[in-house]
């Protein structure tokens, strides 16, 4: 009997998911697997929206952002009877293993699924938040950073033209990686992230000193997790005395054609996922740490908290004081 696995994307979309789907399907086929694609994430498992992979489905998707398999938020998956329905769908099709491309919530769901029914899975980290413990990188981060960098560079043109301050709020949930990296890469004067203490009094004194010495505009980058976008904008107006505007970049950060880095990372993660399943791993997440690829048990990922690189925090420290 031929080996069989299915591939799905789950949770928030990110550039790099499509290259990962394509590579996982092609590499698994080379390893002797019959592959299937699951549309609409976990909801697709429940609704039996599962089809055998064809060449037409995975051709021409490498350069596309988002996920051609689509995604969904599926809290109903945590109901046992619903998971049983998903299991019956897989069993009927002879699917023995899963590759899930998504975030820690998706991995937790598949780990519960494995505990219930013994369906092994390999997780590929994909979230622009870059907040999955155990890995230095998640698919979509580089593309998102380049989208943000282009937006901030454009905002700088208006800021300098009108001698204004601009507060740019970026995504990341409770993780400040995008904001921190953007602030450093774009030369922002202020950066606020959840992981770093800040002092508005010292920031204000520093900015006023800079203005007295010729500074004509200010860029501030804030992580959405701080919930400081509106407040900081008003504070710059009132305390600094510089006209300020808030720009919330929003979901534009998730889109765009995957960067070269994300495409290559997708290939390497996908190969690692198939190899992990071949080696008998049952519930592992692919990781990239200190320049090396590997995998970790799901528990060590979901039971740990992602920590920002201390070196980045040190570099950005002056922007919060």
> Which positions are catalytic?
129
| CA 183 – CA 185 distance, rounded (Å) | 6
Taking the CA atoms of 166, 168, 174 and 176 in sequence, report the sign of the dihedral they define. negative
Q: How is residue 32 written in tokens?
A: 């002797």
The DSSP line for 150-197 is HHHHHHHHHHHHHT-EEEEEE--TT--HHHHHHHHHHT-SEEE-TTS-
* Whole-Å CA distances, 60 to 8, 190, 257: 18, 41, 12
- State the residue for tokens 């789950």: 10
Q: What separation in angstroms does the CA of 84 have from each of 78, 87, 91, 119?
A: 10, 5, 10, 12
Helix (H) or strand (E) holding 46: helix 41-47
**CA end-to-end span of the chain:** 64
């Amino acid at each position: 009997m031929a080996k069989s696995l299915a591939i799905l994307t789950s949770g928030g979309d990110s550039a790099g998911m499509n290259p990962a789907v394509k590579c996982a399907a092609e590499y698994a086929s080379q390893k002797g697997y019959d592959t299937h694609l699951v549309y609409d994430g976990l909801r697709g498992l429940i609704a039996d929206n599962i089809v055998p992979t064809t060449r037409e489905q995975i051709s021409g998707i490498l350069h596309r952002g988002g996920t051609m398999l689509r995604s969904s938020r599926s809290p109903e998956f945590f109901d046992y009877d619903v998971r049983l329905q998903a299991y019956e769908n897989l069993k009927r099709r002879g699917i023995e293993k899963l590759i899930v491309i998504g975030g820690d919530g998706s991995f937790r769901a598949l780990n519960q699924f494995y505990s219930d029914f013994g369906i092994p899975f390999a997780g590929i980290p994909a979230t622009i938040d870059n907040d999955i413990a155990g890995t230095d990188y998640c698919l979509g981060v580089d593309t998102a950073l380049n989208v943000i960098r282009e937006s901030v560079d454009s905002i700088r043109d208006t800021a300098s033209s009108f001698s204004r301050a601009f507060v740019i709020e970026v995504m990341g949930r409770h993780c400040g990686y995008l904001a921190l990296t953007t602030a450093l890469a774009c030369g922002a004067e202020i950066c606020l992230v959840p992981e770093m203490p800040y002092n508005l009094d010292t920031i204000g004194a520093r900015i006023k000193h800079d203005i007295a010495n010729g500074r004509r505009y200010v860029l501030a980058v804030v992580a959405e997790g701080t919930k400081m976008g509106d407040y900081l904008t008003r504070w710059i107006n009132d305390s600094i005395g510089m006209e300020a505007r808030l720009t919330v970049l929003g979901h534009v950060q998730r889109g765009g054609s995957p960067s070269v880095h994300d495409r290559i990372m997708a290939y390497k993660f996908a190969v690692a996922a198939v190899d992990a399943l071949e080696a008998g791993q049952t519930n592992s997440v692919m990781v990239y740490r200190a320049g090396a690829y590997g995998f970790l048990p799901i528990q060590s990922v979901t039971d740990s908290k992602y920590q920002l690189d201390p070196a980045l925090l040190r570099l950005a420290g002056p922007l919060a004081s």
